[in-house]
């Protein structure tokens, strides 16, 4: 009896150990919840803004004299839509003296809208959402208060190409002496002053090297508040390293040179509930499998009758795919998997695009509304779902990707099963780097990454490696699409199915060679590790 009891206890312990091991394998990643909703200004931002205001308001009692030729070049944030007046009335005068024309987009567009105020409200709301999503903490202005004794901005100074700005936060904090001097040196631009202060000497105005000196420290600091930087070497995206020094001390900071980000906003109307037809386009790629494609379209129409479906097709003898809200694009024969993705996504005009393989089947669990809700409320660029096989198994394919520096021979690519963290507010959703082949993404972000058209027959992970660092990706296990059965006995296959298999499942050797080339040469990896 005692031996039987011991065996029973041992068996229970063994089963418990196996269950713990399986839970570890099946539920990789951290269980911590992280808030990835767009951030509003926090206490640190408010503190920094307060410090900047205090610095800017110092030395207000010291008078200055505006330097009109320099101050006039500063951005006023009040751009006007003004055309040149015609001064000469002669034949072909516009060819000899071309004039600047102006077109007021607000007037032209809004006058044709039944609810112009609603459109303006929508536009403002979309822009606020864009600003929250594109906010970059590294671009917040931070000033290092004098400890060296130089005071200067450490980050957040930006100028448009060939434009002029006032450099914020410059200052000198040192003991009084007979003369105080600071030196400024640039590479891609010149310095000047927007206003002059009495008893301050300025040498090198409109040059790359400028010296400011004064016997009165407060006057020098007041003058430093009017120092301007003008970019003189055009480059759409670069930075100038500025040297700022005084006797015995030297500091460096950067001024980012570049155009501002032009927002991509979508006019999808103002609705209390998500209008999926106005927000989402479903994209797919088909090759020979028209029976599967028709089943996919029928299942979509059961739940989303007016959502646009874009089909890219590279079949040898294309068949018509017709119906309301369907766009069918014919490609050269056998052009391939990722080329089809590029074509389909390129034709999407809605804010979001949902990718679905042509052998997927929508069900009541394929909730596009939830995907839109997550993308609207968080900083995610893409959200994936789960695919349910006929066996009942549901796959999410969640992986993390990291790149380790490797020196002259290239870097190391590391791929692991799992995810980074759970999304706060969505307990069935996590953040990962690679997800399953059923996802919804911001159209403009997916178009920016693109799909490598060389991957003609097989490809999936390659897209997410290209997207690393560009896309913020999530995955939800409770948004499910069904997968049509792939089980076919060899003697029951039709000629079309045999032709499909011939093209789809090309030799593993040639696919492996292509993948090796892409990873080794295109992505400059020397090694790849994976689970």
Q: Which of 350, 266, 369, 371 is nearest to 308 (CA)?
A: 350
Average pLDDT over the chain reads: 84
Q: In angstroms, rounded to a whole number, what is the distance separating the alpha carbons of residues 165 and 156?
A: 12
Residue 502 has a pLDDT of 63
Q: Which of 157, 263, 170, 290 is nearest to 225 (CA)?
A: 170
Q: Which of 193, 456, 125 is nearest to 314 (CA)?
A: 456
The string of DSSP letters for 64-104 reads -EE-HHHHTTB--S-----PPPP----TTHHHHSPPPP---
Of residues 241 and 112, the one with the higher pLDDT is 241
Residue 25 has a pLDDT of 41
Structure tokens at 474: 């999530």
Q: Which of 449, 492, 499 is nearest to 472 (CA)?
A: 449
Q: Count the Cβ atoms, other than its own, within 10 Å of residue 155.
A: 16
- Which of 292-306, 422-436, 498-512 has the lowest average pLDDT? 498-512
Q: In angstroms, rounded to a whole number, what is the distance separating the alpha carbons of residues 320 and 335?
A: 18
Residue 400 has a pLDDT of 95
Of residues 371 and 148, the one with the higher pLDDT is 371
pLDDT > 90 fraction of the chain, expressed in percent and rounded = 51
Q: Give mean pLDDT, residues 151-164.
A: 93
Block residue for tokens 């390129």:
346
The CATH number of domain 276-530, selected from 3.90.550.10, 3.40.190.10, 2.60.40.10, 3.40.50.300: 3.90.550.10
pLDDT > 70 fraction of the chain, expressed in percent and rounded = 79
Q: Give mean pLDDT, residues 28-34.
A: 61
Q: Which of 175, 158, 207, 154 is nearest to 48 (CA)?
A: 154
Q: How confident is the model at residue 115 (pLDDT cuts 50, 70, 90)?
A: confident
397-436 pLDDT per residue, tens: 999 999 988 888 888 999 999 999 999 999 999 999 999 9
Structure tokens at 91: 């034949």
What is the pairing mode between strands 180-185 and 158-159? unpaired
Domain ranges of the chain: 43-72+137-258, 276-530
198-244 pLDDT per residue, tens: 999 999 999 999 999 999 999 999 999 999 999 999 988 888 989 99
Instruction: Write the DSSP symbol of residue 287.
Output: S
| Contact between residue 451 and residue 471 where contact means Cβ atoms under 8 Å apart | no
φ and ψ at 231, to 5 degrees? Answer: -75, 130
Of residues 23 and 264, the one with the higher pLDDT is 264
Q: Which of 360, 187, 334, 155 is nearest to 256 (CA)?
A: 155
Q: At a CB cut-off of 8 Å and minimum separation 6, what does 262 contact? A: none
Q: Strand, coil or helix: what is 325?
A: coil
Q: Give mean pLDDT, residues 388-393.
A: 90
- Which of 123-132, 252-261, 342-351, 392-401 has the lowest average pLDDT? 123-132
Q: Is the pLDDT of residue 20 over 50?
A: no
Q: How confident is the model at residue 95 (pLDDT cuts 50, 70, 90)?
A: low
Q: How confident is the model at residue 492 (pLDDT cuts 50, 70, 90)?
A: low
Q: Report the b/e string of 417-451 with b at 16+ CB within 10 A.
A: bebbbbbeebeebbbbbbbbbbbbbbbebbbebeb
pTM for this model (two decimals): 0.79
Residue 21 has a pLDDT of 46
Range list of H helices, 304-442: 337-346, 368-377
Residue 354 has a pLDDT of 98
Residue 374 has a pLDDT of 96
Q: Is the pLDDT of residue 491 over 60?
A: no
Q: Count the Cβ atoms, other than its own, within 10 Å of residue 114.
A: 6
Residue 509 has a pLDDT of 54
Q: In angstroms, rounded to a whole number, what is the distance separating the alpha carbons of residues 130 and 120?
A: 15
Q: In angstroms, rounded to a whole number, what is the distance separating the alpha carbons of residues 126 and 116?
A: 15
Q: In angstroms, rounded to a whole number, what is the distance separating the alpha carbons of residues 364 and 381?
A: 24
């Amino acid at each position: 009896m005692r031996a039987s009891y011991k065996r029973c206890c041992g068996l229970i312990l063994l089963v418990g150990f196996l269950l713990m091991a399986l839970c570890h394998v099946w539920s990789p990643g951290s269980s911590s919840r992280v808030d990835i909703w767009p951030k509003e200004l926090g206490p640190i931002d408010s503190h920094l803004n307060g410090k900047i205001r205090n610095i800017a308001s110092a030395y207000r009692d010291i008078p200055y004299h505006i330097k009109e030729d320099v101050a006039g070049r500063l951005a006023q944030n009040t751009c006007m839509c003004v055309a040149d007046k015609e001064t000469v009335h002669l034949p072909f005068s516009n060819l000899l003296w071309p004039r600047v024309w102006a077109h007021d987009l607000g007037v032209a567009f809004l006058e044709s809208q039944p609810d112009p105020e609603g459109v303006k409200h929508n536009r403002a709301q979309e822009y606020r959402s864009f600003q929250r999503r594109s906010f970059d903490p590294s671009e917040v202005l931070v000033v290092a208060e004098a400890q060296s004794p130089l005071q200067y901005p450490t980050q957040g100074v930006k100028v448009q190409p060939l434009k002029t700005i006032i450099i914020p936060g410059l200052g000198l904090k040192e003991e009084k002496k007979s003369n105080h001097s600071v030196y400024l040196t640039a590479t891609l631009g010149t310095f000047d002053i927007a206003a002059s202060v009495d008893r301050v000497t300025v040498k090198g105005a409109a040059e790359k090297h400028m010296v400011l000196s004064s016997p009165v420290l407060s006057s020098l600091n007041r003058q430093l508040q009017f120092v301007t930087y003008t970019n003189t070497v055009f480059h759409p995206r670069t930075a100038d390293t500025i040297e700022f020094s005084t006797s015995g001390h030297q500091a460096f900071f950067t001024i980012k040179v570049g155009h501002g980000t032009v927002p991509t906003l979508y006019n999808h109307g103002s609705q209390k509930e998500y209008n999926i037809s106005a927000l989402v386009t479903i994209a797919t790629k088909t090759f020979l499998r028209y029976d599967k494609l028709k089943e996919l379209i029928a299942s979509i129409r059961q739940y989303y009758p007016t959502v646009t479906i874009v089909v890219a097709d590279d079949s040898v003898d294309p068949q018509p795919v017709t119906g309301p809200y369907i766009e069918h694009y014919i490609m050269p024969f056998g052009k391939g998997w990722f080329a089809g993705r590029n074509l389909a996504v390129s034709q999407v005009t809605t804010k979001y695009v949902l990718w679905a393989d042509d052998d997927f089947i929508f069900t009541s669990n394929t909730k596009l509304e939830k995907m839109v809700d997550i993308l609207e409320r968080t900083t995610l660029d893409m959200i994936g779902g789960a695919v349910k096989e006929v066996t009942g198994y549901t796959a999410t394919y969640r992986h993390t990707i990291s790149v380790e520096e490797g020196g002259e021979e290239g870097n190391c690519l590391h791929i692991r099963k799992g995810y980074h963290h759970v999304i706060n507010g969505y307990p069935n959703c996590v953040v990962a780097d690679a997800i399953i082949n059923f996802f919804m993404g911001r159209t403009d972000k997916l178009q920016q990454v693109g799909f490598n058209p060389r991957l003609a027959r097989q490809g999936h992970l390659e897209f997410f490696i290209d997207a690393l660092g560009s896309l913020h990706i999530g995955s939800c296990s409770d948004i499910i699409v069904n997968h049509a059965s792939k089980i076919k006995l060899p003697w029951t296959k039709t000629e079309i199915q045999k032709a499909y298999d011939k093209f789809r499942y090309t030799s593993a050797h040639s696919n492996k060679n292509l993948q090796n080339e892409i990873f080794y040469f295109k992505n400059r990896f020397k090694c790849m590790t994976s689970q």
